[in-house]
Amino acid sequence: MAALLFCAALALYVATLAPSVAEVFDDSLEFQLVTYQLAIAHPTGYPLFTLLGWLFTRLPLGEVAYRVNLMTALFGAATVALTYLLGRALARQWDADAASPLWPGEAGAVVGALALAVSPAVWSQATLAEVYTLNAAIVTAILLVLVRMDCMAGRVAPAAIEATAGRAGRTDLRGHLIFLAGLLGLGLAHHRTVLLLLPAAGWVLWRLRGRWVVPMSAMPALFAPLLLYLYLPLRGHVGSLDGSYENTLAGFVRHVTASGYGTFLVSNPLAVSRTPGFYLNLFVEQFGWLGVLVGLLGLLVLWRRGHRVTIIAFVTYGVFNLFYQVADIEVFFIPMFTISAVWFGFGAAWLLTQASRAWLRSSVRRWAQVAAAVVLMILLTQPARVFAANLPARDRSHDWHTHDYGMDMLSQPLLDGAAVVGIQGEITLLRYFQATHHLRTDLLLVAADLPDQRLATVSRLLDEGYAVYLTRQLAGAPERWSLSALGPLIRVHARPPTEPPEDVTIVDTPITPHIGLHGYTVTRPGGHATSQQSLRLSLVWRAIGSGGSDLKVSARLLAPDGGVVAQADAVPVHFAYPTTAWRAGEFITDVYDLALPEGLPADTYTPLVILYDPARDAAEVGRVTLPALHLP
Of the candidates 182, 130, 148, the residue with the CA atom closest to the CA atom of residue 21: 130
Percent of the chain with pLDDT strictly greater than 90: 75
Q: Looking at residue 265, what is its pLDDT?
A: 83
Question: CA–CA separation, 183 vs 175, rounded Å?
Answer: 12
Q: Looking at residue 159, what is its pLDDT?
A: 41
Q: Looking at residue 365, what is its pLDDT?
A: 54
Domain count of the chain? 3
- 198 and 304 housed in the same domain: yes
DSSP 40: B
Look at residue 165 and tell me whether its pLDDT is greater than 50.
Answer: no
pLDDT digits 0-9 by tens, 318-369: 999 999 988 889 999 999 999 999 999 999 988 888 776 665 555 555 555 6
Look at residue 580 and tell me whether its pLDDT is greater than 90.
Answer: yes
Q: Looking at residue 101, what is its pLDDT?
A: 63
Q: Looking at residue 287, what is its pLDDT?
A: 95
Q: Looking at residue 313, what is its pLDDT?
A: 97
Domain end marker among 324, 355, 387 = 387
Domain end marker among 337, 361, 387 = 387
Residue 394 lies in a domain: no
- 415 and 558 housed in the same domain: no
pLDDT digits 0-9 by tens, 184-214: 999 999 999 999 999 999 999 888 876 656 6
Of the candidates 434, 424, 420, the residue with the CA atom closest to the CA atom of residue 242: 424
Contact 235, 34 (CB under 8 A): no
pLDDT grade for 380, boundaries at 50, 70 and 90: confident
Domain end marker among 472, 489, 512 = 472
User: 535 Cβ partners below 8 Å, 6+ apart?
Assistant: 522, 523, 524, 557, 566, 593, 594, 596, 631
DSSP 501: P
Contact 103, 1 (CB under 8 A): no
- What CA–CA distances, in Å, run from 366 to 360, 361, 520? 10, 12, 77
Look at residue 372 and tell me whether its pLDDT is greater than 90.
Answer: no
- 445 and 563 housed in the same domain: no
Residue 227 lies in a domain: yes
- 450 and 587 housed in the same domain: no
- 88 and 53 housed in the same domain: yes
Residue 521 lies in a domain: yes
Contact 219, 181 (CB under 8 A): yes
Q: Looking at residue 288, what is its pLDDT?
A: 94
Q: Looking at residue 156, what is its pLDDT?
A: 43
- 465 and 540 housed in the same domain: no
Task: Give the DSSP letter string of 89-129.
Answer: HHHHHS-S-TTS-SHHHHHHHHHHHHHHHT-HHHHHHTSSS
Range with the lowest mean pLDDT among 122-126, 474-478, 510-514? 510-514
- 227 and 309 housed in the same domain: yes
- 606 and 630 housed in the same domain: yes
Residue 487 lies in a domain: no
Give the structural domain span for 587: 499-632
Number of residues assigned to the chain: 632
Q: Looking at residue 233, what is its pLDDT?
A: 96
pLDDT grade for 174, boundaries at 50, 70 and 90: confident
More confident residue, 435 or 26: 435
More confident residue, 573 or 215: 573
CATH number at residue 540: 2.60.40.2550
Residue 215 lies in a domain: yes
Q: Taking all residues of the chain, what is their mean pLDDT, rounded to a whole number?
A: 90
Q: Looking at residue 253, what is its pLDDT?
A: 94
Mean pLDDT, range 243-272, rounded to an integer: 88
Q: Looking at residue 237, what is its pLDDT?
A: 94
- 22 and 87 housed in the same domain: yes
- 69 and 182 housed in the same domain: yes
Q: Are strands 468-470 and 419-422 parallel, antiparallel or unpaired?
A: parallel
Question: CA–CA separation, 6 vs 76, rounded Å?
Answer: 9
Q: Looking at residue 533, what is its pLDDT?
A: 83
Residue 508 lies in a domain: yes
pLDDT grade for 158, boundaries at 50, 70 and 90: very low
Q: Looking at residue 161, what is its pLDDT?
A: 39
Look at residue 61 and tell me whether its pLDDT is greater than 90.
Answer: yes
Percent of the chain with pLDDT strictly greater than 70: 91
Residue 479 lies in a domain: no
Could you tell me the pTM of the whole model? 0.91
Q: Looking at residue 105, what is its pLDDT?
A: 86
- 163 and 308 housed in the same domain: yes
Residue 484 lies in a domain: no
pLDDT digits 0-9 by tens, 93-143: 765 454 556 788 899 999 999 999 999 999 999 999 999 999 999 999 999
Question: CA–CA separation, 270 vs 103, rounded Å?
Answer: 49
Q: Looking at residue 168, what is its pLDDT?
A: 45
- 156 and 245 housed in the same domain: yes
